Structure 1
Amino acid sequence: MRSLMVLALVASGLLVAQPSAAHHATPANGFSARGPWNTKLPRHVPLAANSAAVVENIRLDKVNNYGTWAINTDEYSTPIYTVGRDTPTQRWTFSDCLNLPHLAPVIADSLAAVPTPPDLTPSKGTDAAVTIYQPSTDTYWDFWRAERAADGHWSACWGGKITHYSRNPGIFPNPLGATATGLPMGAFTIRIDELRRGYIDHAVNIATVRTRAGCHSWPATRDDGNTEGADIACEGQRFRLDPAFDVSTIRSPVARVIARAMQEYGAILTDKAGALVTYAEDPRPYMLATGRPDPYPALMDPDDIVPDGAERYFILGDIPVEHLQALPYDYGRTWMCG
């Protein structure tokens, strides 16, 4: 799902009007309030000249791949572990599953001293992702293909560390990061607590089947695009749900919360996937910490909305993909980067 491609950062910038909306003082994702994730979009934004064509290709990805827009929670998402100062650290090993041994020195510092709770569990699926945040040191880690050996030793094929997390805009230095775009999963992954409170104060993500080959848009630092074509979305490209769309027409309360976030903050294309998906946090750390069952079925209120037990795969079905709008490449880079 994520092939590692170490690409140089494209340095083209696009001047756009800076939004006047106030920044949230303490964004739920913990990254800088002035970064691309936590800055509200103005109501009127420039659109890409080919916005309608790009969005139509995303709609076709939905139609041709399961016919739905799913939320990834317990598979192909990430568990988010917030750990204390006293959490034991471990020197992880670079597993080099992609046979790129020259990258060992690049990731060495990220693996050197990882606070590793004894109950650490990566996401299900081949990504085996995990996210760790330590508030006491203001340090953050993402890992891809994380694996625990029988002796308890951990390894990862790729990932990265961000120091001074609360001042970081939500971008790994190239080529680090567990996603194909170098964008931290903790920046965009929807939290259980956000759905409970009924408000998301950051951009969310989308991942889709076809992404443009050799193309990435800020804030992405690289890509693993697979499809040629000027009207295929670039990884890192920002979208928004048309603010004129009436979200009250969406039946699911959870989907309404997500739709509002897409109107206010947008959705950034973070990766390619086997279907059109958006990520919410893996519930297993919450379940282990509280002894309670998976909270998503109750939160998603599936009664009379989707087939019983399938709420995660259908809950976003009332958000019309055709009402997405594609923003220009590198939207926001100039004024957010100063």
Structure 2
Amino acid sequence: MRRNVRAVLAALSLSLILTGGLLSPARSETAPHRPSNGFARSGPWNTKLPRHVPLAENSAAIVANIKQDKDENFQVWAFNTHTWSSPVYTVGRHTPRLRWTFSDCLDLPHLAPVIADTLSSVPTPPGMLVSQGTDNTVAIYQPSTDTYWDFWRAEQDSEGNWSACWGGKIEHYSRNPGIFDNPLGAAATGLPFGAFLIRIEELRRGRIDHALNIQTVRVRANCNSWPANRNDGNTEGADFPCEGQRFRLDPAFDVNTLRSPAARTIARAMQEYGLIMSDKSGSLATQAEDPRPYGGVNPYHLLTDPTNEIPDDDSYTWLTLADIPVERLQALPLDYGRPQS
């Protein structure tokens, strides 16, 4: 998604100046006691919502603006997979470690020391792919060290050297709530892809046990809600969603009315765990892992349309979530669920 990272990182840079082996896509088949995204069970992504939760006083107005974004930008709730999402790799203990470089594509050289540790030793699988679109993102998880990385504007040069314009590293991944230390992380909110991306295996098993993400065109300027720790908001006004704000699909909505089995699985997760505004976007969207690292036939075609009624092209990205009613979303209060200090 094209986002104003320059503004976010420029503000962060000013703050910092003032204050001194085995390659495979990530899998969600984990032990029953561990959430499929691998982050801490007690974190915001893996905490179920009670059926009765307080709503933001202006919930209806916020949701109306999200619906307007849908209506005025392609008239869809996009299901982003192979474009405008991210590949997620799980790598083995012996995956070659490379020193990446800071590309500084935003001309903020004083941020180089901030990201230096993230780039210093990255287990980088041969043949690694980055997302299609202008963001060029990728996520890497190494279970043997319980460490996770994600990168924005990642690029490999002709000699095989890797660089990134921004990103972050999370150590002790399985104990982390799913939040980067500020100002790290590829997303403009400091929220890692590994926490919210829908996985292929989750759709195959018909169960998602974590919150999903939502992105929209207009997000409130200078406003972030926990678990986000920064924002790149672009629109003034209290009736626009804040990045990090939590939403849910009305639990009274009957998900069995949805045609696609994938849509039913996704909608149940939206009711049980909710959605968190992870970034702004060119359209209303929710993201799933990029299937290209798996090779072969794109599995989303069958998972989203087992009756083969959708043409065998990218139409599923526009049609999968089409029947989930945006107007039945509910906005929760800002900082909902934030731990009391």
AA of the residue aligned to 2:331: A
Q: Which residue does 1:326 correspond to in 2? A: 331
AA of the residue aligned to 1:314: L
For 1:233 and 1:50, the matched residues in 2 are separated by 10
Q: Which residue does 2:170 correspond to in 1? A: 162
The Cα of 1:305 is off from its aligned counterpart by 5.8
AA of the residue aligned to 2:42: R
Residue 193 of structure 1, aligned match among 201, 218, 226: 201
For 1:37 and 1:43, the matched residues in 2 are separated by 16
For 1:255 and 1:308, the matched residues in 2 are separated by 18
AA of the residue aligned to 1:277: A
1:101-148 deviations in whole A, cap 9, x for unaligned?
Answer: 110000000000000000111000000000000000000000000000
1:276 maps onto 2:279 in alignment = no
TM-score (norm 2): 0.91
For 1:72 and 1:302, the matched residues in 2 are separated by 19
For 2:89 and 2:339, the matched residues in 1 are separated by 33
AA of the residue aligned to 2:268: R
1:2 maps onto 2:3 in alignment = yes
AA of the residue aligned to 1:294: N
The Cα of 1:2 is off from its aligned counterpart by 2.5
The Cα of 1:73 is off from its aligned counterpart by 0.5
1:22-58 deviations in whole A, cap 9, x for unaligned?
Answer: xx72001000000000000000001000000000000
1:123 maps onto 2:131 in alignment = yes
Q: Which residue does 1:13 correspond to in 2? A: none
Q: Which residue does 2:297 correspond to in 1? A: 293
Question: Which runs of structure 2 are paired with 1:35-46 in the superposition (5 Å)?
Answer: 35-46=43-54
> 5+ unaligned residues in a row in structure 1: which ranges?
9-23
AA of the residue aligned to 1:3: N
Residue 154 of structure 2, aligned match among 125, 128, 146: 146
Residue 137 of structure 1, aligned match among 133, 136, 145: 145
Q: For residues 69 and 305 of structure 1, do their structure 2 counterparts lie closer, same or farther at Cα, with a shift above 3 Å needed? A: farther
Q: Which residue does 1:96 correspond to in 2? A: 104
On the 8 A contact 1:306/1:315 being kept in 2, the answer is: no
On the 8 A contact 1:255/1:315 being kept in 2, the answer is: yes
AA of the residue aligned to 2:302: A
For 2:105 and 2:88, the matched residues in 1 are separated by 23
Residue 215 of structure 1, aligned match among 214, 223, 236: 223
1:142-197 deviations in whole A, cap 9, x for unaligned?
Answer: 00000000000000000000000000000000000000100000100000000000
Residue 226 of structure 1, aligned match among 221, 229, 234: 234
For 1:151 and 1:172, the matched residues in 2 are separated by 31
For 1:144 and 1:2, the matched residues in 2 are separated by 11
The Cα of 1:3 is off from its aligned counterpart by 2.4
The Cα of 1:313 is off from its aligned counterpart by 1.2
For 1:334 and 1:38, the matched residues in 2 are separated by 14
For 1:285 and 1:308, the matched residues in 2 are separated by 19
Residue 252 of structure 1, aligned match among 243, 248, 260: 260
AA of the residue aligned to 2:293: P
1:44-99 deviations in whole A, cap 9, x for unaligned?
Answer: 00100000000000000000000011111111100000000000000000000011
Give the length in aligned residue pairs.
Answer: 317
Q: Which residue does 1:316 correspond to in 2? A: 321
Residue 171 of structure 1, aligned match among 174, 179, 185: 179
On the 8 A contact 1:51/1:326 being kept in 2, the answer is: yes
> 5+ unaligned residues in a row in structure 2: which ranges?
13-31
For 2:287 and 2:300, the matched residues in 1 are separated by 13
1:50 maps onto 2:58 in alignment = yes
On the 8 A contact 1:302/1:311 being kept in 2, the answer is: no
Once structures 1 and 2 are overlaid, which stretch shifts more, 310-319 or 29-38? 310-319
Residue identity over aligned pairs, in percent, reads 68
Q: Which residue does 2:33 correspond to in 1? A: 25
For 1:304 and 1:118, the matched residues in 2 are separated by 35
On the 8 A contact 1:192/1:281 being kept in 2, the answer is: yes
Q: Which residue does 1:17 correspond to in 2? A: none
AA of the residue aligned to 2:233: G
AA of the residue aligned to 1:96: D
* RMSD between aligned residues: 1.3
Q: For residues 108 and 45 of structure 1, do their structure 2 counterparts lie closer, same or farther at Cα, with a shift above 3 Å needed? A: same
Over 6 Å off, 4+ runs: none
On the 8 A contact 2:93/2:144 being kept in 1, the answer is: yes
